[in-house]
Structure 1
């Protein structure tokens, strides 16, 4: 096979490569010399949970830089500021970047609460979709199922519902998150179930929106079977006896619905 060397073509290719490299170097140098002109915060909040707004995120950014606006981009550690923003319990994810004009853009995704832990002896807290514990906010109150009891209070001492104090995955915590997810994603259960009271042994009592009965769900295992029995109670038993017939409904026993 013959190879024909074209000097003019090789010179053009070499010149093009050098030009690209020079352009990249010039752009990087120019960007490094640019002062930050503006800060743009873009909240990704499709669930309309207004625990934070753009000004709150800007304040978080300023905590790591006394005067971020006007500073030299080259001297500002955007990754460090990004890491600091991610540490806020209301924020699920964040990304910071700058453009050639000197603008810094912060894209922030907020966490979504799925339950609220309530207690009489201290501040409440929220459980986020990923199991993270979040504080309450003066700006916004999310309408979610309430969680109370000794087990719920213990959860507030952790960072994540699905992890035990030693950092390992908690089976009860994973099951509890699945239970909350089932309630939230089902139109009937989300409308009917108001509160989950969980004792120190992780046994759950359900308090409904309509009706005065206490529904003893037990531990958060065998959820599908227990919800099927509870649906039988609502669809077949209550229409015959009335909503105020029973004070207690127990779903713990296999193949049975115990009512009193």
Structure 2
């Protein structure tokens, strides 16, 4: 095996690395010498989730802009301020950086709720897309499926629903509902008993849907679709009080 050493090429590569290093060092030095002028807040998906606005983010940063103006950027602990923002449950991602004009820029991505936990003996909460448990907000109410029943106490003890197998199955079930136009419009509430067995309540119709544990959602929804598309149109929408999907290969309606 022959190895050719190209001195000219190697020198060019080393020179390029040195130039980049000098540029980075110069930029950092220059930024450190720049004084803070202003703070810019950029909130992604704010139009979908009005949980936080610019004023809320400023409060999370715990900064007094008037006192901060004129302070050198090298005197500001950007990482510490960034962590304050990221500690807020509504915030999925937070990034704080500075530009060459002396502006501090905070970019915030909000979590998206996919379900609301409701209970009579305490405050409600939201489940986010990533499974994080979030508090409710006085500013904004998200129109999502409701989760109730004895199992919600276990959910609220967790920081993230995905920490348990039942929680992972619940997230998968909720996403199955969200991603289907018909189920998203039809399923209003999931009532879970202490053993995570689910009874669903629909927007249209009075029947309760005994879904069982949140496993095999695709198979159970396939049977439920047969019930809605083939049985109810023939028998009438008010004919049944309950429909059970727990038995393999069967639909039990009474």
Task: Tell me the TM-score normalized by structure 2.
Answer: 0.88
In 2, Cα distance between the equivalents of 1:244 and 1:19?
77
Stretch deviating more after TM superposition (56-65 or 193-202): 56-65
What is the DSSP-based 3-state SS (H/G/I as helix, E as strand, rest coil) of the residue aligned with 2:247? coil
- In structure 2, the partner of 1:30 is 30
Match of 2:185 among 177, 191, 216: 191
| Change in CA separation of 1:141 and 1:69 when aligned onto 2, cut-off 3 Å | farther
| Change in CA separation of 1:176 and 1:100 when aligned onto 2, cut-off 3 Å | same
| Change in CA separation of 1:200 and 1:47 when aligned onto 2, cut-off 3 Å | farther
In 2, Cα distance between the equivalents of 1:146 and 1:17?
56
- Does residue 208 (structure 1) correspond to residue 232 (structure 2)? The answer is no
- In structure 2, the partner of 1:156 is 156
- Does residue 252 (structure 1) correspond to residue 246 (structure 2)? The answer is yes
- In structure 2, the partner of 1:97 is 97
What is the DSSP-based 3-state SS (H/G/I as helix, E as strand, rest coil) of the residue aligned with 1:150? coil
- In structure 1, the partner of 2:44 is 44
Tell whether the 8 Å contact from 2:116 to 2:125 is kept in structure 1 after alignment: yes
| Change in CA separation of 1:251 and 1:47 when aligned onto 2, cut-off 3 Å | farther
1:68-217 map, 5 Å = 68-163=68-163, 170-217=164-211
In 2, Cα distance between the equivalents of 1:160 and 1:20?
42
Tell whether the 8 Å contact from 1:117 to 1:153 is kept in structure 2 after alignment: no
1:6-25 map, 5 Å = 25=25
| Change in CA separation of 1:21 and 1:173 when aligned onto 2, cut-off 3 Å | closer
- In structure 1, the partner of 2:230 is 236
Mark the runs of 5 or more structure 2 residues left unpaired by the alignment. Answer: 1-10
| Change in CA separation of 1:88 and 1:244 when aligned onto 2, cut-off 3 Å | same
In 2, Cα distance between the equivalents of 1:46 and 1:253?
43
Stretch deviating more after TM superposition (121-130 or 68-77): 68-77
Task: Tell me the TM-score normalized by structure 1.
Answer: 0.86
What is the DSSP-based 3-state SS (H/G/I as helix, E as strand, rest coil) of the residue aligned with 2:141? coil
- Deviation by residue 1:35-81 (Cα, 9 ceiling, x = unmatched): 21010011111761110011111111126999444432101111111
Deviation at 1:259, TM superposition (A): 1.2
| Change in CA separation of 1:19 and 1:89 when aligned onto 2, cut-off 3 Å | closer
Tell whether the 8 Å contact from 2:38 to 2:65 is kept in structure 1 after alignment: no
In 2, Cα distance between the equivalents of 1:19 and 1:255?
69
- Deviation by residue 1:186-244 (Cα, 9 ceiling, x = unmatched): 00000000000000000000000001111000001121111011000000110011111
Moved over 6 A (4+): 16-23
- In structure 2, the partner of 1:219 is 213
